[in-house]
Homo-oligomer: A and B are copies of this chain.
Amino acid sequence: MEANEQRAIGILTSGGDAPGMNAAIRAVTRAAIFAGFKVFGIMRGYKGLITDEIEEFSTQNVSNIIQRGGTILKTARCKEFQTKEGRQCAYDVLQRHGISALVVIGGDGSLTGARIFANEFQFQIIGLPGTIDNDLYGTDSTIGYDTALNTIMDCVDKIRDTATSHERLFFIEVMGRDAGFLALNGAIASGAEAAIIPEVATQEDQLDELIANGFRKSKNSSIVLVAESPSTGGAMGLAERVKKEYPNYDVRVSILGHLQRGGSPTAYDRILASRMGAAAVDALLDDQRNVMIGIKNDEIVYVPFTKAIKNDKPINRELMSTLRRLSI
């Protein structure tokens, strides 16, 4: 790139959508234009890179989107990008548009794709952690997690209205593939009796203990949040077991499902997305590459892709103890 040439960057969202992705798109676009870059919006994640669904963005393209759920860039799975030929095609498209860097917003699968592409073509990529699961290492929070947590809490608040009126035991299944953040924090936030999460191997004992001395003692209804992960059996599996062993319980199951991904983002997610989006542009100016923007102790940090997608972010054990002490 010559000094007098205007730099061009692309932005895309990939993988499962998460609330706040639009706030991130807005932030990257505006901070980049503020820095003097041209910005291209790439549709449908890596797919749009290959099919050349690319449009130049002005500040107006991202007006009035900060409050919207979903992603205006849409997202899709893309098998072609998993092949060398697909990635070569994507690279050619980027070259044709003069795009010299990418900002990729997504979860661990998306960042894995970014890492491979970046290495293969020595391409500059900055990642933003966009996933409701909060399962990326190196950042205290991911874009979408706080909104999903509040959505879950609002749903459980509603279910508690009816659970209390009817005196029932509810198993409520929430998202979080192999990560119990949403289930555990959702349980504390909604005053649920327990959370069954994949990080705890002895989850069956949890349930036994819960049933043995937990609910129906002083309480007239109980709510248990269950992470959808196969290792927990899911809400259905637990309910079946309880119905068999304790046939006199009035057990109900609710699977919250896809509504957890949607909705207008919370203040926390909008601010996080705005800060991370601006930081992605700083990272580009700073000639960073192959890093995900993270937040640690309220400060922006750069996390190498290889570290971020290791996926072993630990659950805070203090929270489990808090949940148990408060559900008496």
Which residues of A approach B to under 8 Å, CB–CB?
13, 16-17, 19, 26-27, 30-31, 33-34, 59-60, 63-64, 66-71, 74-76, 140, 146, 149-153, 155, 157-167, 170, 185-186, 188-191, 218-220, 252-264, 266-268, 270-271, 274-275, 277-278, 296-298, 300, 316, 318-319, 321-322, 325-328
Given contacts A26-B191, A257-B255, A259-B159, contact A75 B267 (CB under 8 A): no
Q: Quick check: A271 and B188 within 8 Å, CB to CB? A: yes
Known: A26-B191, A267-B150, A275-B322. Is A161-B328 also a contact (CB below 8 A)? no
Which one of A64, A258, A275 has the highest number of Cβ atoms from chain B below 10 Å of its Cβ?
A258
Q: Is the CB of A71 within 8 A of B157?
A: no
Q: Are B158 and A151 in contact (CB under 8 A)?
A: yes
Number of copies of this protein chain within its complex: 4
Indicate whether A166 sits within 8 Å of B254 (C-beta atoms), given known contacts A34-B328, A70-B161, A191-B67. Answer: no
Q: List 5 A-B contacts (CB under 8 A).
A: A67-B191, A69-B158, A70-B160, A188-B271, A300-B318
Query: When the two chains form the complex, which single residue of B161, B190, B261 contacts A68, counting CB atoms closer than 8 Å?
Result: B161
CA separation between A328 and B39, bound complex, in Å? Answer: 14
> Quick one: given A30-B328, A70-B161, are A268 and B270 in contact (CB under 8 Å)?
no
Q: How far is the CA of A322 from the CA of B24 in the complex (A)?
A: 12
Cα distance, A64 to B75, chains bound together (Å)? 17
**Contact residues in B for A63 (Cβ distance below 8 Å):** 219
Q: How far is the CA of A88 from the CA of B157 in the complex (A)?
A: 38
Cα distance A33–B160 in the bound complex, in angstroms: 23
Partner of A76, one of B155, B167, B254, B267: B167
